[in-house]
Amino acid sequence: MLSDRSRPVIEATLPVVADHIGEIAERFYAHLFGAHPELFDGVFNRGNQAEGTQQVALAGSVAVFAGALVQTPEQVPERLLSRIAHKHASLGITPAQYDVVHEHLFWAIADVLGDAVTPEVAAAWDEVYWLMAYALINQERGLYSARGVRPETVWREWEVAERFDETPDVVTFRVRRVDDRLVKTSLPGQYVTVQVLMPDGVHQPRQYSLTRADDGEHRQFSVKRVRGGDKPDGEVSNHLCDRVGVGDRLRMSLPFGDVVLDDSGRPVVFASAGIGITPMAGMLSHLAAAGSHLPVTLLHADLDEESFALREQVLTDVRRLPGGTVHTWYERGAHSTLPVDSVHAGVMDLDAVDLPEGAVYVLCGPLPFMRAVRSALLDRGVPARDVQYEVFGPDLWQADSQTEPSPQAAHAGSA
């Protein structure tokens, strides 16, 4: 809980900090990596750094956290903290690394804002940072403990047993264990961090959803090739798609992720766009493997049917579920050769389908897509607590500010 002394200081200075988030983040990371270049090996993704998304993500999450404390002093933004804690655990983050981040982040704030950072302002933001840090450290300690690991032992090597093309831009990897450690079953919807050894000898991390239920020996994930256009191509995704084949070894974390399948026994509606199908595929695989009788509806939007990754697996699993239905939307026209229940042209329109009463909803896709779908669901009277959403990559800090805006969080999210 934020102290009464610090709350008015944070409220007064939050707009200034939010307006300078980009510059603070840039100075912070330059200073951090100057002192700790080893963090580029396995912890920070340098592609996100080059693009600038990861830079804003960390500083932005602190600003969003501060805004939430000002708006609701008696509680913390649990959803944001849970997302970050699971991602940190999948990277093996340690408590000591929070001290390192604190040192360089507060140097950057003072460097950018100058004389505006009075001792009173510095003390208030220091309180915010450590409230957030200790909340995350405690959550991450619990995640490690529940899995019987330490930060340094979340990793193990796997061997690629199969790889196959889903679409021209998506490749699925099926890996098998190569040691005697048991494969702890993942929860439906979770992801792993893959640490890829790049040609220059540096490990680069990237999270990928598990797209099939574990069988005790294997895990499966799918990779979309990131084509940068006017930005650099995705380093990890292109390396995996172009250079990693059957027999190669990959270093992967234990499964983490807080957006998992609801076990309340209520109908489930999955709504995805593009590569957002991956966590849905994992959940559907778990349901099919368990012989579930839950009423399940899959809504998926894509460019066209050929771009619909994992479509054969997904359709097979849905058809194994009694009463399971699939509805698709394609930007390039309502053409389908798959046995779907309906196909539509354009973007997803919930008014085009009948949705079950009392359902829980899971969304995954670009943030604008999730915001539009969530807004449409709330307009229909679906309670906000019944809508979950998975966020990929460094966008996770923005998810609440863009799908559940509050005045302070929205201000920080627009910085």
Residues with active-site annotation? 98, 140
Q: Determine the 3-state secondary structure of 293 from DSSP.
A: coil
Q: Determine the 3-state secondary structure of 365 from DSSP.
A: coil
Distance (Å, rounded) from C-alpha 148 to C-alpha 150? 7
Q: Tokens 């300078």, residue?
A: 20
Distance (Å, rounded) from C-alpha 371 to C-alpha 389? 10
Whether the CB-CB separation of 278 and 189 falls below 8 Å is answered with: no
Amino acid, single-letter form, for residue 275: I
Residue 393, number of CB atoms within 10 A of its CB: 17
How far from the centroid of its chain's Cα atoms is residue 205's Cα? 13
Q: Is 342 exposed, middle or buried (0-12, 13-18, 19+ CB in 10 A)?
A: middle
Q: Which of 360, 328, 324 is nearest to 344 (CA)?
A: 328
Distance (Å, rounded) from C-alpha 51 to C-alpha 46? 8
Sheet arrangement for strand 191-197: 203-209, 191-197, 249-253, 155-167, 170-177, 218-224
Distance (Å, rounded) from C-alpha 280 to C-alpha 209? 9
Pairing of strands 325-330, 296-302: parallel
How far from the centroid of its chain's Cα atoms is residue 198's Cα? 23
Distance (Å, rounded) from C-alpha 371 to C-alpha 61? 19
Pairing of strands 191-197, 203-209: antiparallel
Q: Which of 70, 76, 61, 194 is nearest to 131 (CA)?
A: 76
